[in-house]
Amino acid sequence: MRVEDADTICAVSTPPGEGGISIIRISGPDARRILYRIFKPKTESAKVSPNRRLRLGYIVNPGESREIDEVLAVFMPAPATYTRED
């Protein structure tokens, strides 16, 4: 599989197996749009913002707004990230 520079990628960053926490990373030009589409803040003050702070909320199925799991989300804008992307 070839990944282009302009692609947005999503990958599980934690090892396989059972665990209480899993990390999913989204990197690329559409990362912010995808995060806003699938993240529902638990409270109004938990909305995702570009200030690199964790926000409590839920990952939702965007087609039906059904909560899938409780999560912490953070948006880290480029270029000060490991991938130098959003």
Q: Give domain limits for the chain.
A: 9-73
Please state the pTM of the whole predicted model.
0.76
12-54 tens-digit pLDDT: 888 888 878 888 888 889 998 999 899 898 887 766 666 778 8
pLDDT for the residue numbered 1 = 52
Q: Which pairs with CB-CB distance under 8 Å and at least 24 residues apart come from 71-79? A: 71/39, 73/35, 73/39, 73/48, 74/48, 75/31, 75/32, 75/35, 75/48, 75/49, 75/50, 76/52, 77/32, 77/50
The predicted structure's pLDDT at residue 46: 65
Q: pLDDT tens digit string along 58-68?
A: 999 988 888 99
Q: What is the pLDDT of residue 15?
A: 86
Q: Reply yes or no on whether the pLDDT at 85 is more than 80.
A: no
